Amino acid sequence: MKRKPWMVITLSFLIAFSCLAGYHFVSGKTERPQPKKRGVVTGLEVLLDNPDLLKGKRVGLITNPTGITREYQHALDAMLERGIRVTKVFGPEHGVRGTEQAGDIPGTLIDPKTGLPLVNLYGKKPADMVPLFQDVDVLVFDIQDVGTRFYTYIYTMAYAMEAAAVADRPFIVLDRPNPIGGEKVEGPVLDEKFSSFVGLFPIPLRHGMTAGELATMFNEEFFPKMGKKKAELQVIKMKGWVRHQRFSETGLPWVLPSPNMPTPDTAMVYPGTGLIEATNLSEGRGTTRPFELIGAPYIEGWKLAEELNKAGLPGVSFREAYFTPTFSKYKDQAVGGIQVHVEDPDAFDPILTGLMIIEKTKKLYPAQFAWRESREPYWMDKLTGTDQVRKRIDQGIPAAEIVREWSRELNKFKDLREKYLLYPSRGISR
**How many domains, in total, are found in the chain?**
3
Rounded to whole angstroms, the maximal C-alpha distance in the chain is: 88
Output the domain CATH number for residue 101.
3.40.50.12170
Same domain, 268 and 172: no
The answer to whether the beta carbons of residues 288 and 306 sit under 8 Å apart is: no
Q: What is the pLDDT of residue 25?
A: 35
Whether 81 is in a domain gets the answer yes
Same domain, 97 and 186: yes
The Cα 360–Cα 353 span in angstroms is 11
pLDDT in tens, 150-177: 999 999 999 999 999 999 999 999 999 9
Q: What is the pLDDT of residue 376?
A: 78
Same domain, 290 and 212: no
Whether 293 is in a domain gets the answer yes
pTM for this predicted structure: 0.89
Output the domain CATH number for residue 307.
3.90.1150.140
**What DSSP letter does each residue of 195-261 carry, written as one string?**
-BTTB-SS-EEE----HHHHHHHIIIIIHHHTTPPPP-EEEE--BS--TT--GGGTTPPP--SSTT-
- Coil vs helix vs strand at 394: helix
**What is the end-to-end Cα distance of the chain in Å, rounded?**
67
- Determine the distance from the C-alpha atom of residue 425 to the mean position of all C-alpha atoms in its chain, rounded to a whole number: 21
pLDDT in tens, 226-240: 999 999 999 999 999
Whether 256 is in a domain gets the answer no
The answer to whether the beta carbons of residues 272 and 180 sit under 8 Å apart is: no
Whether 175 is in a domain gets the answer yes
pLDDT in single tens digits along all 430 residues of the chain: 444 444 444 444 434 444 444 443 334 443 434 555 668 999 999 999 999 999 999 999 999 999 999 999 999 999 999 999 999 999 998 778 755 555 555 567 888 889 999 999 999 999 999 999 999 999 999 999 999 999 999 999 999 999 999 999 999 999 999 999 999 999 999 999 999 999 999 999 999 999 999 999 999 999 999 999 999 999 999 999 999 999 999 999 999 999 999 999 999 999 999 999 999 999 999 999 999 999 999 999 999 999 999 999 999 999 999 999 999 999 999 999 999 999 999 999 999 999 999 999 999 999 999 999 777 789 999 999 999 999 999 999 999 999 999 999 999 999 999 999 999 997 554 4
Same domain, 198 and 285: no
Same domain, 12 and 57: no
Q: Tally the residues of the chain.
A: 430
Rounded to 10 degrees, what is the CA torsion of 26, 31, 37, 42? -160
Same domain, 296 and 150: no
Q: Report which residue type is found at 262.
A: P
Q: Which domain holds residue 17?
A: 1-33
The answer to whether the beta carbons of residues 237 and 422 sit under 8 Å apart is: yes
Q: What is the pLDDT of residue 296?
A: 99
